[in-house]
Each structure stands twice: as structure tokens, then as C-alpha cells.
Amino acid sequence: MKAILDERQRRHDPKHFMANGTLLPNPEQPKRIDILKAAAEQAGCSFEAPTDEGMGPIAALHTAEYIVFLQNIYRRWQYIEGAGAEVVPNIHPANRTDSYPKSAIGQAGYHQVDTSCPIAENTFESAYWSAQTAIRGADHIAWGERSAYALSRPPGHHAYADLAGGFCFFNNAGIAAERLRKAGKLPAILDIDVHHGNGTQGIFYRRADVLTLSIHADPARFYPFFWGHAHERGEGDGIGCNLNLPLDRGTGDDAYLKTLDIAFERIAAFGTDALVVALGLDAHIDDPFKGLAVTTPGFARIGAAIAGLGLPTLFVQEGGYVSDALGDNLTHVLQGFSEA
């Protein structure tokens, strides 16, 4: 399987995030790249670096205002007396239609939905190359490859058109799907991260040309809380083109695979001819977020089930945090897919 990685993705090295009222070490660490790269190679992947396709494919989904913010906010943050080493918001607007302030602090609150996406000196560069990695993967699918794996880091599925959140800055899977759509494909994004792909849903919620599906821990008591509920079906032209399949905490392999069948039925009905898998590995039973209970052999079954669709498939890396099982989980997904 073709695999893509740019080494500049390592330069984003977030230190902290706030959870449950406590300042904690940020789990989205550069070390993930080493673990995931070795695991993909174990599954038979051969890595290449992406080419630079410029800002156009990113700007196809993200607003110019947001891109300028990400490019400049760290430099502007340095002028604030007593500011911390990372850009972390402490105030947010009540609505997206509220006024847009000139203040760096106010703009941080406008463009960062939570405290888990701190921005430091190299964040924009890493996010840019993470997106380029996904773009290159989409191009391989458009050129006729059966499958590819984009080791995109930082991840992307919590990023909206003008909002960072949940460790995410650019919506890599969404950018890849839009790239495929412009290449003449009818893509679906299947998100199997333990957290709902709220940014992906938000970007495509009123569109009928990209199908979005997410299988995740029930957000009634799990991040991202406000999005990912079963009644969210899309709006306007997009009604019926978004499918959320929330699962009870602790759901294991067999129930997860049955839920995949529901997603597969919708994918087939959409007429999908290219699949983007937002590949979170944090549904594992031993992942630090402890939302679901998929086993490592279960990930092989998931990969094999996805292969059964017979669609050209791009895997774009999302979550899955440092644990003893992280690498094995990726190897099992990719091997399960390839061997099927």
C-alpha cells in the first residue's frame, strides 16, 4: 500500500491542554509519528513525501480569514505582555455571527473551539504538511490506486471551516474528499475515530455531493458533546447525507461490526465510488480516552470489512494516542484490509 508522510509534521509539539478543570500534558505528541510509521511499514506500506499542492486544496474547505489567523496568531501572541508559550483561548463568542474582534485574544477564542488545540511556533507548518499528506493520498486514489494511507498529524476531523478543536487545525479527511470530488469522484467519508467527526459534519452538513458517516462513542457524555447525535441528518441539500451512529460506552468488536454494516448500506446507496476512512485508532479498549472497547484483532476485522466494499480507499490518520497497542492496531487495520 502507498503511504505518505512529511517529516515537518513533527514540528508541532503541543505541551498542554485543559480537561476536567486540570492542566494536563497534551497527548497529541510527535512520538505518534514514529509508532504509526513503523506500524504501517510492518503492514507492508512504502512511504513517500507529499508534493506541495499549495493552499488551493486547503482553501477549498477553510476560509481565508481562518487561514490568515493560523498563519499569524503565534507571532501576534508574542506581543501580549505575560502571554504563555502557546496560544490557548480563554473566551469564546456565543454564536458564529457575533462580532469579529481585532484582538489576538478575541480571535483565538473565535477560531479555537476548545483548549486542546494550542498553537505554537511550528503548528501552522505541521498542519499545512499534514493536509498536503492527505492531498497526496487522495491523488493516488484518483490516479487509480486501490488504497493508500496518509499519516496525517496533527489530525483533522474536529476542524471546521473556520475553527480548530480537538487537536485538529485543517480537516485532512475533508480536504482529501473534496480533492477526490474535484477529480470526478463521488466520495464518502467514514469516520471510525472514537470521537465524533464534528468538524467534518459541519463542513459538509448542507451538501449532497459528499456523504459523511461517523461511528463513535455516544456524545451525550463524551467529547465533543454538542454534535454527533443520531438525529443530525444534514440540512438543506444535505438532508440524508450525514449519518451518525453513536455507540454505548464500552461497545466491543461484534456490536461495532454490526454497526459498520449499517454504514456500509448507506455508502452503497449513495453510489460512492471512492472512500475516505478517517482512521481513528482510539476506539481501542486500552486507549487513554476509554470510550469504546474494540480489540486489536477487532481492528483487523474492521479493515477486512471495509475492504469488502470493493471501493478505492484512502485511510487518513486521525486519533489513537500513545499506548502499548497503538502500533499493533494500525498494523491490524491495514493488514486486514490488504489481506481481504
**Catalytic annotation, residues:** 158
Q: Report whether 322 contacts 31 (CB < 8 A).
A: yes
Do the Cβ atoms of 165 and 190 come closer than 8 Å? no
Residues pairing with 279 in the sheet = 317
Whether the CB-CB separation of 167 and 28 falls below 8 Å is answered with yes
Evaluate whether 216 touches 193 at the Cβ level (below 8 Å): yes
